[in-house]
Amino acid sequence: MQKKDSGTIYVVGTPIGNLGDITLRALDTLKSVDVVVAEDTRRTLKLLNYYEIKKPLVSYHKHNEKKRSVELIEMLKSGKDIAVVSDAGMPGISDPGRELIKKAWEEGIDIEVVPGVSAVTAALSITGFESTPFVFCGFPPARAKERKRFFKELAGEKLTTVLFESPARFRKTLKDILEHLGNRRIVVARELTKIHEEIFRGTVEEAIARWQGDVKGEITIIVEGKSDAEKAKGSEESAFSDMRRDLEELIDSGLSTRDAAKEISRRYCISRSAAYKEALKIIGEKQ
């Protein structure tokens, strides 16, 4: 329930490039609120000026979001309506906004979403990849340790995956994808909806060959999910690993090679001879 006399916080989607990609409802909302909370006030001012909207702007970014959230909640409690926008797309999705929205929920402040363009769904729509379901991972970590763990975990992902990346780390990310996920098909959507929009579709190796020099702009990378053959191979490898682990445990427990093979044959529906042969390999490795 909304607290009495409190204002409303509107989460407003803005264009990711082309200023024409904004809804009529978003424009009406920006015109009606008391304050517009923006990630970068300079960028948002360009949008407001383009549509001749004059509203007070308050900066809200990762360096001040905790302190500013408290101030904005007090503003909402005093009855003012606030529109929250990011530099592009929807706030709170790889952009500031989450902390303020979380506090608004906790304080019982009314929240309304005014949806708009998203680089995630815009890029996915032109891939031709299976995208139901998909995984969105945002920006890979910049630090080496966290980055290595991120891509090692991503290697096991079977679904189509969406990443954001900065121009500075774009080529490194392509190489990390190749190392950990293999030479999958990808789509690189650079500067979506802008004058220099560029869409690439091919393999990771082809993308690495395509971009040898500096890259500019905002980049979305979509990595195709594992093929049916890759999934089947992964399942087979996993089943074999489980079988071998169980076989080794039986041998270590003191069971004879023959009896261990017999039990594994029953559990995994494989021939006794194949299980016995694998048991001999395990014993040989232990010697």
Tell me the pLDDT tens digit for each residue of 200-215.
999 999 999 999 888 9
196 assigned to some structural domain: yes
Residue 95's SS3 state is: coil
Per-residue model confidence (pLDDT) at position 238: 56
Co-location of 241 and 190 in the same domain: no
Co-location of 126 and 222 in the same domain: yes
Confidence of residue 171 (pLDDT cuts 50, 70, 90): very high
Does 46 have pLDDT greater than 90? yes
Co-location of 274 and 252 in the same domain: yes
Q: How far apart are CA 58 and CA 44, in angstroms?
A: 10
Co-location of 112 and 13 in the same domain: yes
138: CATH: 3.30.950.10
Co-location of 270 and 213 in the same domain: no
Residue 273's SS3 state is: helix
169 assigned to some structural domain: yes
* Mean pLDDT of the region 156-184: 92
Confidence of residue 229 (pLDDT cuts 50, 70, 90): low
Dihedral (CA of 170, 207, 233, 227) sign? positive
Contact assessment for residue 223 and residue 161, using Cβ atoms and an 8 Å cutoff:
yes
Residue-range definition of the domain harbouring residue 252: 229-286
Q: Indicate the number of domains in the chain.
A: 3
Asked which of 61-65, 132-136, 187-191, 259-263 is least confident by mean pLDDT, the reply is: 61-65
Co-location of 133 and 57 in the same domain: no
Contact assessment for residue 90 and residue 115, using Cβ atoms and an 8 Å cutoff:
yes
Q: How far apart are CA 272 and CA 7, in angstroms?
A: 73
- What one-character DSSP code corresponds to residue 142? S
Determine what percent of the chain is predicted with pLDDT higher than 90: 60
3 assigned to some structural domain: no
Q: Show which of 49, 84, 117 is a domain's final residue.
A: 117
Co-location of 148 and 90 in the same domain: no
pTM summary value: 0.72
| Contacts of 98 by beta carbon, 8 Å cutoff, 6+ apart | 92
* Mean pLDDT of the region 116-137: 92
Per-residue model confidence (pLDDT) at position 1: 38
* Mean pLDDT of the region 113-123: 93
Does 183 have pLDDT greater than 80? yes
> Which one has a higher pLDDT value, 236 or 222?
222
* Mean pLDDT of the region 27-42: 95
Q: Taking Cα atoms as reference points, which of 53, 147, 27, 186 lies closest to residue 12?
A: 27
Co-location of 109 and 132 in the same domain: no
Co-location of 148 and 175 in the same domain: yes
Does 235 have pLDDT greater than 80? no
Residue 217: how many other CB atoms lie within 10 Å: 16
Co-location of 107 and 131 in the same domain: no
- What is the b/e burial string over 116-144, where b = at least 16 CB atoms within 10 angstroms of the residue's CB? bbbbbebbbeebebebeebebbeebeeee
Q: Show which of 117, 139, 166 is a domain's final residue.
A: 117
> Which one has a higher pLDDT value, 146 or 63?
146
